[in-house]
């Protein structure tokens, strides 16, 4: 299968800051990929490069096109949503539908109206009259009505309360996602959406720290929970990170077999959030 995104050695600097420092990864069709990294790690820059919003060095192919030179064609199949506040405040709901109908060959107005009918949003309202959560619902309704191959979401639920966040991802998963569509998502609330991801890419200091499918993570990374006094034997097997909680120690291993670790304590597959913290903190002991 051809990759939806194929990035090789992406580089981009803002002055002395290297936002992207040789980033390579590939995203296959039908995946939900979490692009995860601390603030200023280069996530948004990577997304901007993919969307042709910023110049960069390196090789990048999105749906077989170069976002630098073929952006106008590319955007027929790519949809994106930056954080909530980008719909202009003067825009009316009906105007948003009218506009998308006019400029997007793959926008199905009726679909957007169906989605909006399930919300409290009134067609006559302007964006400035809607709550933050409703603006996101409106934007999501527009996106759901576009038959795109790749959807890029940059912190789409930032600043929303839990109900709206949950609803957002449920709608996305149930009403939008299918095997022909690919979603690339950045978020700070990793714990909330980690069950959504099929793949994760950790990015740190402009470099890819980890890129893997979620099913492969279980084979590669293991978390061992042991009592603090029994930790010494486990430490001999060289965990790359450990964390102490309530007198028990969680040790994180890469490339160890389960049979090797199981006798030492309680073995489990680390959550993506824990793994992220472990990878980002490196081998330094806390």
* Sites of contact with other proteins (CB under 8 A): 48, 51, 53-55, 71-73, 75-76, 79-82, 85-92, 95, 98-110, 139
Query: Minimum distance from CB of 28 to other proteins (Å)?
Result: 23
Q: What angle do CA 10, 216, 214 make, to 5 degrees?
A: 70
Nearer to other proteins, 129 or 254 (CB): 129
| CB neighbourhood size of 72 (10 A) | 9
Interatomic CA distance for residues 137 and 120, integer angstroms: 10
Query: Minimum distance from CB of 15 to other proteins (Å)?
Result: 13
Are 28 and 194 in contact, with CB atoms under 8 Å apart? no
Query: Minimum distance from CB of 146 to other proteins (Å)?
Result: 9
Nearer to other proteins, 71 or 207 (CB): 71
Are 25 and 59 in contact, with CB atoms under 8 Å apart? no
Query: Minimum distance from CB of 106 to other proteins (Å)?
Result: 8
Interatomic CA distance for residues 18 and 11, integer angstroms: 8
Nearer to other proteins, 19 or 231 (CB): 19
Cα dist from 74 to 93, 220, 234, 276, whole Å: 26, 35, 51, 32
Tokens of 36: 């995860």
Nearer to other proteins, 47 or 217 (CB): 47
Nearer to other proteins, 145 or 210 (CB): 145
Query: Minimum distance from CB of 127 to other proteins (Å)?
Result: 9
């Amino acid at each position: 299968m051809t990759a939806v995104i194929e990035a090789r050695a992406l580089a981009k600097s803002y002055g002395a800051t290297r936002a992207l420092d040789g980033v390579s990864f590939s995203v296959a069709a039908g995946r939900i990929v979490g692009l995860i990294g601390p603030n200023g790690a280069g996530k948004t820059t990577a997304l901007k490069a993919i969307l042709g919003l910023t110049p960069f060095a390196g090789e990048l192919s999105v749906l077989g096109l170069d976002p630098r030179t073929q952006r106008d064609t590319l955007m027929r199949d790519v949809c994106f949503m930056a954080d909530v506040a980008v719909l202009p405040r003067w825009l009316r709901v009906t105007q948003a539908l009218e506009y998308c109908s006019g400029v997007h060959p793959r926008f199905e107005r009726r679909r957007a109206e169906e989605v909006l009918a399930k919300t409290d949003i009134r067609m006559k309202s302007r964006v400035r009259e809607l709550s933050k959560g409703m603006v996101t619902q409106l934007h999501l309704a527009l996106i759901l009505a576009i038959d795109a191959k790749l959807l890029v979401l940059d912190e789409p639920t930032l600043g929303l309360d839990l109900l709206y966040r949950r609803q957002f991802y449920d709608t996305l998963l149930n009403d939008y996602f299918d095997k022909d569509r690919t979603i690339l998502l950045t978020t700070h609330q990793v714990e909330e959406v980690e069950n959504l991801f099929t793949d994760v890419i950790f990015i740190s200091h402009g470099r890819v720290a980890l890129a893997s499918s979620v099913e492969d993570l279980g084979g590669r990374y293991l978390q061992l929970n042991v009592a603090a006094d029994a930790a010494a034997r486990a430490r001999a097997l060289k965990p790359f990170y450990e964390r102490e909680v309530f007198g028990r120690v969680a040790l994180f291993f890469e490339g160890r077999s389960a049979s090797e670790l199981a006798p030492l304590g309680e073995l489990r597959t680390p959550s993506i959030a824990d793994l992220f913290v472990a990878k980002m903190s490196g081998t330094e002991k806390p």
